[in-house]
Chain A
């Protein structure tokens, strides 16, 4: 029963509301008052995305019953004091403090409370005020700066002139809606009459099931329009990101293989569906034996998940060269180690959400994604529709990091819409998101590495068993990427790396920033510290001695060019020397708190491993003079909308402000592939560069000029100047082409790679990026707690297209690497929320110094290399090496939770 007497003051206006008094205020604000800047990330007060001000103080709207807001003054980002709000928004934009934008409104509201009391706050005050809001993209450092400087006069920013936007720290082109809270994420668009879809999910890890009287149950519940089961699927009930290995049903048929697998959909009136207790859905479960860890999955008596994959083995990978066993035997020094890593959750602040509807014959799906065309293909396959009848309109994605590459709710929404004929939406709860989304593969890895008397690497052997969970997803990619990269960016003449992806009833492991390389780097880089010690060489010098250089061959037999690894390590040297002294001085007088430093490197091949992965970019000019870039690289916060546009603008030779972007809508924009594998700046960048150049050529052809100093467009007239010459083209006089442009170009780029042979030999990637990081930590010897004091990160990006966004990637990757090292461990059934599953808060991420090294790669657009995943790889091993330096503790299982560190400290003390 609703109560008409609840009234809120919102933006100075009294608003009477009709929601029930016990409804979450977040729902009231979003659904009844349409204040969509209030984001829902967890409904539990764990993420702070819904932070609003009530009577000037910050509250989680999700924890506030509407009744408690009665008569009080509510401020959301849309309705707050415009002056201060604008200053904070500008500061966030100027400092690159918003990436995906999902946490941004909540952060800003907390900042507003602080800035009213303290106009120029300290870092500590900012941390205290914003400590209750999680951000997964930025690593917080730019947020802290933006809040501290919100009331300072902004630095004068000059717009770059035509042809010179690359290399400039241009503000994110799509940034204003993110900082204004008007960005449309997966849960933010609800056409009138939209039905709500909820999934009935398996409560067991592994079970056979039979459905009961579904019709009878549905008839007894008011508001249900449809119940959908596997029997309603007209297409092929089997999807997967790697089509030959597709194995995942949209709705399970008779067996479920992981906790939370969907078996049915319930569709109907939003309020009625929301209120349903789905534990009463008529289904009978017959529990089966199950496994959760890779060791359990490999056991002889383990429950087998897929009949056609004996021993629960999805795939094996291998790269080998030389004679590693013999070389190890003859090595002066050999180290051996074993590392275990955990399931890691992506923990984007936006749980999966979307809405779908029919436009004529076409099913339109607007949802958060990293891979619109793959969504289109898999959804069409499940629904049994031709491709052209499925249109994917990516909403803004509130973080992705790999898990929004796989389809999640897209086929489910499609089923609901086709079944009911009405618009349908689905919004995962936090627990639903965590149970059903993919994870980083847990790995159990063993390696041996040898060096000669001079400290040169002689050989390495590596094997990793990776828990790939219930379904294939990106397991094969991890299994092939890891052996290619497990040597690290070091010359390793004799090498054998093998991997195995093992099925278990754990959550499906898929893509997560680095595809297994961060796990392998922990193995290799921690062993390198031990090896350097045995060789009696400084740890950084040891790495520099062995770093890959131009002309060196990788273990895959690829000859490298444009290798910036040595440059990255050299850039760290002054910091290394200085910090070594600082740490020694501190430790001399501190018996319990001990500081240490560690270093680790990364390399990472950009793009798909030994497979085609083209991008196509269309660039056109309309008769009215609009310059339109069809930019199909999905921007999940990393900045493709800005970076690709910078490249295209300079290739064409026009000011960047002149360009309009059309995003990766499958009906409007050619395929730029998926946002993964650090491929967009490189591959879509190359396509954009080619499209820009082609468009420029066609303009020059029209003008009979050899070249152009400037291309400008004003009131339907394109003007080209070259030296003293000038030509004008009246655009409306040109014929209009099939895509609606009078001048246009469409170019495709696919990186030149080759297949790998049975020993993993070939050219898996067309280019690599490189980097190295130093971590300084402080370890409490009695409690085993670790505080990271700072990170120095040097990354070879080839060419920094946008240095501010590149720094944002570095800081965000480091925050995730810190989480991987110190706190993140997803345990199915236990850590399915953001208070038991910990990701770093604003207080955990230390100062970060970013050093951008630019060693241009001839294959990259204007020399640029990928960066997004590289940045995460060195952080965890650098932290572990620093912990060992500080305390002697040799960590063999991450995360290095305090009890594990303390046990390792004691083991090290006992060994002495």
Chain B
């Protein structure tokens, strides 16, 4: 639409721009604008929000596909299986209503904040990131896509087009808890997500994740393995073992020791909630 602000309507046009230039990719702009005091988004900008194919949630052969520019409000309103209850709860905790209307799921991942609310529940959904370039598509597991704070595995010419949740992760029920120092508009001190598949009271699948307690949110594979094949038992989650998976920092929100111990406590509560026979998120 102008020399340094592109807002194509087709994905191919976006990929063409990316092939010849290195613009800032803009979607909800809820992280891009706060990063500058300028009144105009510094260019060049590739705004991908006018591409209809990038927004929305669809069920395909490979599982569930969440378009890159799907907003948190879209996710809250979508009819999704209980495995996504954690993601829905996280969506409700992103900023407040305005941010949920505006912010996108791919933006949350690409911003790569250690406190990104979407990451722990997506990790429990075994999510992958679909990335496109003029050369074609590639799919990257989420846990390797985010390399560190503000660092992602996105090469020149590439953009995120979707988040894919595989078929075998659509089972069970998800949950999410976030700990912060106030209600609404809060960056978490720690957060936990879990997706548990129970059959007759016995854990079949377990996925656990913790965020805000290290440079990237992390899964807890050893603890997950221990839960499987038994009734859901929160006593299996010990502070020590949880802490082994984390590398929290001291900052203005909390100290590292507190982060680790509260993450373990939150994780136990997440599982307690999941052991109760009820639907979590609306």
Which A residues fall within an 8 A CB radius of B? 1-3, 5-6, 20-24, 27, 43-46, 48, 51, 57-60, 62-65, 67-68, 110, 113, 127-129, 131-134, 274-275, 429, 431, 782-785, 822-823, 825, 827, 830-831, 833, 835-836, 838, 840-844, 897-899, 902-903
Contacts and interface: CB of A to CB of B under 8 A. Distances in A.
A5 B1 contact: yes
A65 B183 CA distance: 28
Interface string B92-113: 0001111101100000000000
Contacts of A67: 1, 5, 7, 47
A27 B38 CA distance: 11
Given A46-B185, A835-B187, A844-B182, A58 B37 contact: no
B252 A60 contact: no
A132 B185 CA distance: 6
7 contacts: A1-B2, A3-B2, A22-B4, A24-B39, A274-B39, A836-B252, A843-B184
Q: Which 10 pairs show the lowest CB-CB distances between chains A and B?
A: A843-B183, A132-B96, A899-B258, A131-B184, A44-B34, A22-B41, A131-B96, A21-B5, A841-B184, A899-B254
A842 B97 CA distance: 13
B30 interface: yes
Interface of B is mostly: loop
B75 to A, nearest CB: 15
B62 to A, nearest CB: 30
A23 B40 CA distance: 4
Interface in B38-75: 38-43, 45, 47, 49, 73
Contact of B33 (A45, A831, A903): A45
A18 to B, nearest CB: 11
B271 to A, nearest CB: 14
A224 B219 CA distance: 54
Nearest to B266: A783
Contacts of A45: 30, 33-34, 95, 98-99
Given A21-B1, A129-B97, A822 B33 contact: no
B181 A131 contact: no
Contacts of B261: 902
B28 interface: yes
A59 B101 contact: yes
Of the listed residues A2, A827, A899, the one surrounded by the most CB atoms of chain B closer than 10 A to its CB is A899
A133 B97 CA distance: 10
Contacts of A6: 1
B184 A65 contact: no
A823 B39 contact: no
Interface in B246-282: 251-255, 257-259, 261-262, 265-266
Nearest to A51: B98
A842 B38 contact: no
Contacts of B179: 783, 785, 898
Contacts of B253: 897
A838 B181 contact: yes
A96 B20 CA distance: 57
Contact of B254 (A129, A275, A830, A897): A897
A133 to B, nearest CB: 8
A441 to B, nearest CB: 19
B33 A44 contact: yes
A209 B156 CA distance: 41
A1 B2 CA distance: 6
Contact of A835 (B26, B185, B258): B185
A1 B4 contact: yes
Given A27-B39, A59-B101, A62-B33, A21 B7 contact: yes
A135 to B, nearest CB: 12
B262 A65 contact: no
A132 B95 contact: yes
Given A131-B185, A132-B98, 8 more contacts: A45-B30, A45-B34, A48-B96, A68-B47, A131-B97, A429-B37, A783-B179, A841-B96
A62 B182 CA distance: 23
B196 interface: no
A823 B182 CA distance: 8
A64 B261 CA distance: 38
A719 B49 CA distance: 68
B237 interface: no
A64 B2 contact: no
Contact of B40 (A24, A44, A782, A842): A24
B189 interface: yes
